[in-house]
Amino acid sequence: MSETSARLRAVGISGSPSATSKSRVLVEHALAQLEARGAATRLIDVATLPGDALLGRGSAAQVADALARVAEARIVVAGTPVYRATYSGLLKVFFDLLPQDGLVGKVGVPIVTGHGVAHSLAVDHGLRPLFASVGATLVANGVYATSEQFRDGKPEPGLCAAVERAVREAMALARAAID
């Protein structure tokens, strides 16, 4: 393992409230691929964090820890279902807690699942501006998947390949930023 990959940290943020979330499966696949390439990874499942702290009605150690994990990461993977043609409210409230410019110098990987293809632009019209609002540099190829691309909750090979391509891009960008 190189010194660069040993230093590299990545977080995955899952913005689905579903216990059987498809988008979280893709975030977990991305994290597994990042681990295989030497990154230290951590999953932040926003649905498990205390709601009052997420909504700014107080503080909670779990939310503070999640924000700290994002702050120390070089790569930030964000996964969300399409809700009403864009990202979930759950993902939005977590991003609202990030500091201004909180993702400057970090590489963002957007992952979205929707029921059909009609809202595939949620990657480019929803997640890209969301990431950009806090300063992230994004991979060129985000991931959008429909329900048909899962069998028994598992992503089809072509979808896994799309996630792996995004991960390769993220690693290349992150290493370029470090060197």
CA distance 60 to 163: 32
- Closest contact distance (angstroms) between CB of 36 and ligand FMN is 23
38, 157 contact by CB (below 8 A) = no
Task: Tell which one of 11, 16, 110, 166 touches ligand FMN (CB under 6 A).
Answer: 16
Task: Tell which one of 36, 68, 85, 176 touches ligand FMN (CB under 6 A).
Answer: 85
Determine the angle formed by the axes of helices 157-178 and 22-36, rounding to 10 degrees: 50
Site for ligand FMN in 136-165 (CB under 6 A): 147
CA distance 166 to 160: 10
| 75 token code pair | 């790569």
Q: Binding pattern to ligand FMN, positions 29-68, x when CB under 6 A?
A: ----------------------------------------
141, 166 contact by CB (below 8 A) = yes
Residues that bind ligand FMN (CB under 6 A): 16, 18, 21-24, 81-85, 113-116, 118-119, 147
